[in-house]
Amino acid sequence: MSAFDHQEIWAAIDKLAARLDMTPSGLAKMAGLDSTTFNLSKRTSADVDRPRWLSTESLAKVLTATGVSFAEFAAMAEGERPQPPRGVPLLGFAQAGSEGFFDDAGFPVGEGWEEVAFPGMAEEGCYALEISGDSMTPVYRDGDRIVVTPVSEPRRGDRVVVKTLDGEVLAKEVARITARTLELASLNPAYAPRVIERKHIAWIARIIWASQ
């Protein structure tokens, strides 16, 4: 793979934004960056009019937020046609808490689900959940859609969806892990953290993308 020039890198940012039906400013905000980060005026240094390169930190944040791999981004920079977004099954949080919709590993079962387009390289078994209520604001709001993938062992700092054996479904952040318990920090500061014994957990799925 040849080295990319300045124009190719920024063109890839524009292509990625267009692929997600948003402006470069919207893409920057989605990645947690200042909304002006990808503006045309930021692509050159005003004092000497020399090219200003996209930082590796900004690129990493964009790829994480969109679920797009570096290989996909490189293909956009090289002018290759990227893979079309893959459809993943969409379920509601109410369905996630009901019996019969998931197997023991946390994968959805059955057919005929509505699908949503996921812009990244979706792993096998990924699916989407539609947020309902305000318990996850301001990170996730009512109507947002998140893409999750079942995991056998979460890591500290992961944002996860957890289903208990009682049918409760929670979207939180892993704060601490012990041999017996999982401590979950609430995304909404109005809600208290939770400590759940592992034996009471039906399955855990890691959040890998959100349609915010």
Cβ contacts of 191-197, under 8 Å, gap ≥ 24: 191/135, 194/170, 196/162, 196/164
Rounded to whole angstroms, the Cα distance separating 106 from 27 reads 31
What number of other Cβ atoms are within 10 A of residue 155's Cβ? 10
For 162-205, how does the pLDDT look when each residue is reduced to its tens digit (9 = 90+)?
989 988 888 899 999 999 999 999 988 889 999 999 999 988 98
Rounded to whole angstroms, the Cα distance separating 133 from 86 reads 27
Structure tokens at 54: 């996209």
Q: What is the pTM of this model?
A: 0.59
Domains, the chain, ordered by start: 6-77 (1.10.260), 86-210 (2.10.109.10)
* pLDDT of residue 42 exceeding 60: yes
Query: How confident is residue 116, by pLDDT bands cut at 50, 70 and 90?
Result: confident
Instruction: Assign 3-class secondary structure to the chain.
Output: CCCCCHHHHHHHHHHHHHHCCCCHHHHHHHCCCCCCCCCHHHHEECCCCEECCCCHHHHHHHHHHHCCCHHHHHHHHCCCCCCCCEEEEEEEHHHHCCCCCECCCCCECCCCCEEEEECCCCCCCCEEEECCCCCCCCCCCCCCEEEEEECCCCCCCCEEEEEECCCCEEEEEEEEECCCEEEEECCCCCCCCEEEEHHHEEEEEEEEEECC
Query: How confident is residue 109, by pLDDT bands cut at 50, 70 and 90?
Result: low
For 124-149, how does the pLDDT look when each residue is reduced to its tens digit (9 = 90+)?
678 888 888 888 888 888 888 888 88
The arithmetic mean of pLDDT across residues 17-38, rounded, is 87
pLDDT score at 94: 65
pLDDT score at 195: 96
Contact in structure between 140 and 131 (CB atoms under 8 Å): yes
How many residues are there in the chain? 212
Rounded to whole angstroms, the Cα distance separating 90 from 131 reads 11
